[in-house]
Amino acid sequence: MITLQDVIAALTGELLENSRMVFTETVIDSRKAIPGSLFVALGGEKSDGHQYVKAAFKNGAVCALIHKDILENFPILDLREGNSKPPIRIPTTPFCIRVNDSLSALQEIARFWRQKQSLRVIGITGSVGKSSSKELIAEILSHKYHTFKNPGNYNNEIGLPLTILNLGSGYERLVAEMGFYFPGEITFLCEIARPDIGVVTNVGTVHAERAGSQSVIAQGKSELIQALPPAPQGFAVLNYDDPYVRAMADITRADVLFYGLDQKSDIWADEIQGRGLKGIQFKLHYENHSISMEVPILGRHSVQTILRAAAVAFLEGMSWREVTEGLMQCSTQLRLVAVQSKSGALILDDTYNATPESTLAALDLLAELKGQKIAVLGDMLELGQYEQLGHEVVGRRAAQVVSHLIAVGPRGRTIADTARQDGLPATAITWVEDALQAADILKYNLNSGDIVLIKGSHGLRMDRIASILEESV
C-alpha cells in the first residue's frame, strides 16, 4: 500500500527518511475509514469532507489531506505551494497535511503511485457495457494474474485515483473503467492510469445531453485509444460492428485488434443462440481456431462483452484452454439479475441503468423466454437530442414482445404512446408517474409463470420495484 513517504514525495519531490508509516487504505468517506487509513477531505456542494476529519480520525484514520481550515486543533503539516518550507517533520498522529487543493493532490499522489507499479493496465470506455466488460475481463484475467479492478462506479476523476491508491503490492493487472462526460476527461484519466490496453465497447446516445452528438461522444471515447503506448506494448481492442469505434483504428499508435460479429473482425462469434436463463451458446473464432461453447451469462447481447474479455485475455498471453475454461466457469452476471417473486413470477431486474441500446437488448432476452411477458420500462435519461427517438424505438420493440407494458415517468409516456401506435392494445398499457406506483400494480397482479422485465435509468430508483416484489406475498 502507499506510504507517507510516497505521499510526501508526490507532493513535494522530497524523499522523507525515517518514515515507515503505511496507509492501509485511502478513503473520501469518513464512515469508511479504517485503522491506519488516509482520509482525503474533498469539498462539495452538499457535503464538505472537511467537516468530517474528526469522524475519520475517530474511525481509525491516521492522516487527513485538507485544503481548508478545520474546527479541530489537529497537528498540521503545511505543504501548500508557495510556502517556505523548513525541514519536514512529521507530527504525532493523527495529523493533517494541508495542500492547495485536496482533489488535485489526490490525483497527483495517484499519478506518482501508478508510476511506481510494474503492472499492466486495461482501460475500458464506451456508452454501454463498460462496467460489465470490466467485471468479466477482470474475472477471466484473475485465472492467471493477480488482478485488481475499480469498484462500482469508481470511473471518474475521484474514483480512478482512489482505485490506484488502494492497489496493494503484487498486483499484475489493473482493469479500470473510464467514464466520459466532457472532452478531455478520459485524456486526464489516462495521464493518471497510463493504460497499456484500451477497450472501446460502442458509441451510443447516453450522455448526449451533456456531451452533444454521437460524433462528439466518439471523439471523447477515442481519447483512450489515442493515449495508448505504441506497439508492441499498446493494444487497442475495438468493436468492428460499430462504425464510430472501428474508425478509431486510424488514430492510435497501438496495435489494433477488432472484435465483433462480422467475420472481418480478428476475433468474432457466430451461431449464437440464446438459451434463456441457462445463458448463451455460440462459436468463438480467433487466429484460425474456433470452438463452440456455452456460457452462463444471460442475453445474446452478452456475446459482445464475452468477445472483449476473450480478446484482452488472448492479448495478455492466456491460452485457448485458459480463456474458454474461464468463460464457461465465470460467475459474473452482467448486471441483469433473475429473481423469483413470492407469487412465483420471474423478475428480470435490469435496473442499474438504461439506454435505448441496453433496453432493446433486455427486450430481446425477454422475447426468448416462455410465459406471459410484462415489461416495466422507465425514463432513459441524458439522451439529449436523441431523447424522443430513443424512447420511440423502445416503444416499438416493446409492442412486438410484451403482453403488458407498464411505462414509468414523463418520458415513459413516449414509450407507451409508441407501443400503442404500433399495435399493442391500449388495455395492455399502463402509465404511472413513479416506480412505487408500478410496484403497487404488480404486487397484486402477478401469477406464477409471469415474466417481468424491469428497466429504467438509475435516477428513477426502479430497483425498488424488484425489492418490493421479492418481499410481497
For the stretch 341-368, pLDDT in tens is 777 788 888 887 788 888 888 898 898 8
Task: Provide the mean pLDDT of the chain.
Answer: 90
d(CA 10, CA 6): 6
Percentage of the chain modeled with pLDDT above 70: 95
Cβ neighbours of 444 (radius 10 Å): 8
d(CA 18, CA 8): 13
**Helices marked H in 168-317:** 185-193, 208-211, 214-226, 243-246, 302-315
Residue 89 has pLDDT above 90, yes or no: no
Average pLDDT over residues 266-284: 90
Confidence of residue 473 (pLDDT cuts 50, 70, 90): very low
CB of 120 closer than 8 Å to CB of 197: yes
In the structure grid, which three cell numbers stand for residue 147, read together? 488482478
Amino acid sitting at position 449: G
Phi and psi torsions of 211, nearest 5° = -90, -30
CA 405 to chain centre: 29
pLDDT at 84: 57
For the stretch 175-196, pLDDT in tens is 999 988 788 999 999 999 999 9
d(CA 25, CA 17): 22
Instruction: Please indicate whether residue 128 or residue 223 has the higher confidence score (pLDDT).
Output: 223
Instruction: Please indicate whether residue 270 or residue 18 has the higher confidence score (pLDDT).
Output: 270
CB of 225 closer than 8 Å to CB of 235: no
Give Dmax (Cα) for the chain. Answer: 78
In the structure grid, which three cell numbers stand for residue 54, read together? 474528526
pLDDT at 25: 95
- Residue of 248, 254, 282 lying closest to 267 (CA atoms): 282
